[in-house]
Chain A
Amino acid sequence: MPEIDAAFTDLPLRRLADAALSRAKTLGADHADIRVERIKDSHLSLHDARLDGTSDGEDVGFAVRVLLDGSWGFASHVDLTPESAERVAEQAIEVAKVSRPLSTQRIELADEPAYGDLTWVSPYDVDPFSVSDSDKISLLADWSSGLLAHDIVAHADASVHSVVENKFYSDLAGTTTTQQRVRIQCQLEALGIDKESGRFDTMRTLAAPAGRGWEYLTGTGYDWAAELDELPEHLTEKLRAPSVEGGVYDLVIDPTNLFLTIHESIGHATELDRALGYEANYAGTSFATFDQLGTLKYGSPVMNVTGDRVAEHGLASIGWDDEGVAGQEWDIIKDGVLVGYQLDRPMARLKELGRSNGCAFADSPGHVPMQRMANVSLQPAAGGPSTDELISRVDRGIYVVGDKSWSIDMQRYNFQFTGQRFFKIENGRLAGQLRDVAYQATTTDFWGSLEAVGGPQTYYLGGAFNCGKGQPGQVAAVSHGCPATLFRDVRILNTQAEAGR
């Protein structure tokens, strides 16, 4: 197991904590915490096997958050000195005083044990920052050249994005944690142009971003060679595929597509801060209002959804969250009924839900922690069917693979998704690709039409690096696991017809 980077632990973490927390305590704070963070971020992109752009960034800074007389105060800075930490603690107290008259709600925190001084490192083998740009470029250039060798591929794009995130957290109650998370995302996309019709289309790799290191690109956890081999053929078939006839179809949805539908229609809808209106001006609210906790029929009885911050290689997995709460797993939807939300400590107390389930997160040292998404996952059925068995139950339908376009309304009712590949299902068998396909539904109707979930052998952990929320905007990475699924009677649009053609 890798250790926390010494360049981070060599920072004066505990001296900053002592300075900030003792100052905040002296000034009367009921709660105070400090986060010191270092985030290393590397992007690299190739166009037609040639280097397009690189960037290699590092952000270091700290933030102090205090609770004074029931009001939050927050301040951050980049100078890592005890004097600066004291000043920032004073600023946070000032901000809390200014906020008090504009705040009608008294903030209190749900209880959480104090853990002492602890360390957590996400599981990975090779730090992506230990690999030279030259080696990274060579690998992506070889893969791109392999795609470009096919006549159908007019252009090939490749990119890799890796992050190493270090967080030090300490609070007045006595929890001090030092953590390191590593994550990586790599994508290749081939563009094909049909000269006769002038039509163009793309086909992208389906490898999910993951809480893994560089080993993910060299054979651990994903078979890149096999997928890249198949990509040009999938693209050829897509360009020649017939346009779908709009209407109502049964869908077998592959987890490579469904993870994003889960993210949008369950993940965001079960964030309690949205249900309480904190995001009403920006990300929106939720149809899953708090008064329906325990009664809302979200979907069919085969629907069981959990939240967690502990899944192995999960992008939202942590040891402790940004309020010192230990990572947990809990039920969000049980037998189709809404039974839980994603929480932070103030909301858990406000709604008398007991302990927080640990969803506080800030994306940078300059931003305030807020409730962000856990790994929200649809559970497979023990002994459940394979993807082929699900397809065999469909007379007229479509098998949906890979995510592409997504959009959902501000209360998480109405959504529309496309995908990488859509295969026609006829009499229980696949019958070639279709194009111009989008599926559109209302969340509870859609999940109500879930007839079957696949077995554990179909389970896949998808995810995204770019989940946005909050003002000022914050970005978070999150994973979603799910099995293959069978839905009945879903509305399919022909996107050409939607475009008026």
Chain B
Amino acid sequence: MSTTTVTGVKAQDVVERALQLSTSDGCIVLAQESSEANLRWAANTLTTNGVMRGRRLTVIATDGGNEGTATGVVSRSNVGLDQVESLVRAAEEAARTGRAAEDARPLITPDQVPAGAQGWEQEPAETSIGVFGQLASTLGEVFLDARAAGRELFGFAEHQLHTTYLGTSTGVRVRHAQPTGRIEVTGKTADWSRSSWVGHSTRDFSDIDMAAVDAELARRLGWAKRRVDLDAGRYETLLPPSAVADLMAYMYWTSVARDADDGRTVFSRQGGGTRVGERLASKPLRVWSDPAAEGLQCDPVVFATSSGSSQSVFDNGLPIGETDWIADGELKALIQTRHSAELTGLPMTPGVDNLLMASADATRGLDEMVADTSRGLLLTCLWYIREVEPQTLLLTGLTRDGVYLVEGGEVVAEVNNFRFNESPVDLMGRLTEVGLTQRTLAREFGDYFTRSAMPTWRVGDFNMSSVSKAS
């Protein structure tokens, strides 16, 4: 690969040029080089595919006026060297005429940046359609097999490589290349009356076996040969890691310190402050993030192209470490900016782009948990999860692509889908068993929250609020 990129100039040079041109009190520049490849198919035929390449430059100017520091944030795609100045001036103008930013803090300095997060001189990493190699060559065969067996496959495979170059007027220079990939496949019987789903996250597709994916779909569609209709109600329910990942992702996004301190979330303490320090789970649960987690590696420093309650542009370049959000069932930390950390008097724990959960008393995987179920429901995944009520974090959503009835330790039939109403925070206090943790793909939020490792949950009385006729 050549050292020049989309516009014929190196991203590092664009960042340096912007910093040289800057005349404001402070300047932060992020150049994000992205490449993506994807394949999409429906009913055993390829429908769309694509390769995309892009660059986005964001200039953040800070202006320390009499009333505090203001910022201007301006982003453009595909900026060449000759267009950098107009971007810098636009950001400076916005900062000069803007209002003081509540989250203003001194910019990060090079001594604060972890050594492993550098490598500034390296080129952007790039993906191509070739990343699918084995997958693309077996896909046609798998389509033929599926068709012969009366299955229709619908799916999507995507690989992205995003390389971020961060430079600041205080001398920080950081580069990070982030691969993100996933494959997800829905299998249906030819009449579409039965449906199942398998999804995996991956960094490079070398660990994806399409034939195995199809075999798992065939096994699950086989479970559905017998159909039992059940009414709405509370059921003992096994939630597999994908379903747990979606519920935990929503809870994680809600665990923002400033919002809790405002008094607007499930993590707000009545009368003011946050619930950090409170016990949330009956089990010895740990919920944590770690940029170095095996197979789930993610950004090791803060990259923020805008400010809000959960991130601050002033924190760009701050290191991100292993963070326990919940430890031994107790709420330990919330997502912070330096501003909110001061506001709440809690440690600075920025958001991390992965999430893991485990229970210290876990001994069994999903299959063993099924084998030890006298009567209950086994879910495949959840869908269309939305917040109904923020105070308890009541969420609603649907079961999707296979709800199975377990009797006497075996899957005996498929059941209709349900709409549920449950709070993940409440559920954590009601878990009757937590299984072993494994890497998974959240069905609903996996398109932008791809990196998670979750256990299976057994809930004694999961609230299936009504029946959904969807299949």
* A interface, CB within 8 angstroms of B: 43, 45, 47, 50-61, 72, 74-79, 91, 95, 98-99, 101-105, 132-134, 137, 141, 154-155, 191, 193, 195, 198-200, 202, 276-282, 284-285, 287, 366-368, 370, 405-414, 416, 418, 436, 438, 440, 442, 471-473, 491, 493, 495-496, 498-501
B392-A60 in contact (CB<8A): no
A203 to chain B, nearest CB (A): 13
For A277, list chain B residues within 8 Å (CB).
Answer: 42-43, 152, 154, 192
A368-B306 in contact (CB<8A): no
B48-A51 in contact (CB<8A): no
A366-B426 in contact (CB<8A): no
B469-A413 in contact (CB<8A): yes
Q: How many A-B residue pairs have CB under 8 A?
A: 255
For B46, list chain A residues within 8 Å (CB).
Answer: 99, 102-103
| Minimal Cβ-Cβ distance residue in B for A416 | B396
* A58 to B417 CA separation, bound complex (whole angstroms): 43
Q: Which of A104, A133, A198 has the most CB of B within 10 A?
A: A133
Interface flag for B178 (CB, 8 Å)? no
B18 to chain A, nearest CB (A): 15
B248 to chain A, nearest CB (A): 18
For A405, list chain B residues within 8 Å (CB).
Answer: 386-388, 396
Interface flag for B184 (CB, 8 Å)? yes
A495-B467 in contact (CB<8A): no
B186-A281 in contact (CB<8A): yes
Given contacts A102-B46, A500-B463, contact A366 B398 (CB under 8 A): no
* A134 to B99 CA separation, bound complex (whole angstroms): 8
How big is the B interface, by class? 35 or more
Chain A residues touching B, majority SS: mixed
Interface flag for B447 (CB, 8 Å)? yes
| Minimal Cβ-Cβ distance residue in B for A55 | B306
Interface flag for B156 (CB, 8 Å)? yes
A134-B78 in contact (CB<8A): no
For A200, list chain B residues within 8 Å (CB).
Answer: 263-264, 268, 390-391
The interface bits of chain B over 32-57 (1 if a CB of A lies within 8 angstroms of the residue's CB, else 0) are 00001010111111111111111110
* A289 to B305 CA separation, bound complex (whole angstroms): 43
Which listed segment binds A: B90-98, B294-302, B403-411, B432-440?
Answer: B90-98
Q: Can you show 21 pairs from A to B with CB atoms below 8 A apart?
A: A55-B74, A72-B48, A76-B50, A78-B54, A101-B140, A133-B72, A133-B94, A141-B99, A199-B391, A280-B42, A280-B154, A281-B154, A281-B197, A284-B470, A405-B387, A407-B385, A407-B397, A411-B471, A414-B398, A416-B465, A472-B36
Given contacts A50-B100, A102-B46, contact A409 B152 (CB under 8 A): no
A58-B77 in contact (CB<8A): yes
B263-A414 in contact (CB<8A): no
* A279 to B43 CA separation, bound complex (whole angstroms): 10
A82 to chain B, nearest CB (A): 16
Interface flag for B21 (CB, 8 Å)? no
Selected contact of B384 from candidates A141, A410, A438, CB within 8 Å:
A410
A56-B421 in contact (CB<8A): no
* B interface, CB within 8 angstroms of A: 6-7, 36, 38, 40-56, 70-78, 90, 94, 97-103, 129, 139-140, 143, 152, 154-156, 158, 184-186, 188, 192, 195, 197, 262-264, 268, 270-271, 305-309, 313, 383-392, 394, 396-398, 400, 417, 419, 421-423, 426, 447, 463, 465-471
* A58 to B102 CA separation, bound complex (whole angstroms): 26
Given contacts A78-B54, A407-B397, contact A56 B74 (CB under 8 A): yes
Closest 10 CB pairs of A and B: A411-B470, A198-B270, A102-B46, A498-B421, A53-B307, A414-B468, A78-B78, A280-B154, A471-B156, A281-B154
* A477 to B306 CA separation, bound complex (whole angstroms): 22
For A99, list chain B residues within 8 Å (CB).
Answer: 46, 49
Selected contact of A55 from candidates B50, B185, B268, B305, CB within 8 Å:
B305
A47-B102 in contact (CB<8A): yes
A76-B52 in contact (CB<8A): yes
Given contacts A54-B72, A436-B389, contact A132 B384 (CB under 8 A): no
